[in-house]
Structure 1
């Protein structure tokens, strides 16, 4: 409800917040394992905190047994690569190791600061984790499950065979990564109007979240009305 006199908005919950999302998968993108940085510490935190249902490390590097030994066993590993000799080949996703399910409904441990011989930690309650998971889901929904528009190319057509409209390139003969593969630098690029695809409506159709749900709405007097 809003108070016109004070100019302040007052919100009161009148219905239970819906459980509109299912599993959350966290993907740590590290193309070059030769320069891991703080990757190992981050993955250990992901596992001990258990804020997401599964954690996957995605890399372009060749994954050795030594790499796997330094990565928590619960973390899945994908190698994503393409044959450099033929750019028309699709990206290949090789699952090196399957991720394990993490206990998202249990208390988590978040490492805060490391010292010689000890590490300061914080125990995170299940309720706090649930709130954080909801914020992650909301941010993902707000950003959108698709981070690109269809390219303005006559060779690009929407392919809905998978249930979602994906950019299919007739020149390459496959679904493409529009953000990385399409544009004037592509040999098969032919400038034209982009396909007429309503991505916002498609997102709404494929998720349980309702951007503008029905329900109780009421105007309530504020204290400013009586001053």
Structure 2
């Protein structure tokens, strides 16, 4: 079981499972960062797992907790060790230099590079080398009820993922049925895509083991779809770093940014090892689409709630945001000190 009757609740629990138990069926050798609803203009993935070098992930923290967008990455990755005019230091971006100049100012304001003015020129210097922190990207599509029609609709998207090879592995996560042969194995999915079945129980305080004391059962192992020439493909590396930066900055607990935690009915409920949103007005876990300003049950927090300093400064909505942010930061810190 999972909270609510939509894929959103299942998706949040898959993210928490991946955060604690990735990779399925084997020992973790990399640090893990999990995010959700990320991708490219053509394709958006439900869950994204970054397998990272622990030392590199720790070094990435020098550049702050916020993501570095494509323009900032261009500046930070190529910033020189010693002072140099930014036009000499950075490779030509393929667009006007005035946009690079604006990115240099933003980077300096963020403290991710240093800048100074020498005459009419702006010189830059790096604060530290940008680390090689990303090892692999794993894309997971979440379909709790993977019936034949859902599989047909999903097959084309998964084939695109395999052919594009932006991710190193592609998986489908579905709810376990307990059958001797899981129905997902009988559906027409690309052979390169892995299948993992999960079962959740809020009363157990964790993901319920399905068999062999495993938190998730791998029904079909994926193929590695990384191209043979990936190490020399700078364009692929750039796109993957941009995706990884978005995942690093947002995580999977950022659902509060598209929902309304400032509503008096918005709550967080514990479901196993995850905290998931709950609507007190409807008495159930809501979806991100339902929890919006257009919801007929929406009621702003009373002003008196927001003016009290203790125990939740700014009201419950602010407290929820701080709690989710602290949990995300705690996971980052744990991953960088993992043995």
| TM-score, length of structure 2 as denominator length | 0.36
TM-score by length of 1: 0.49
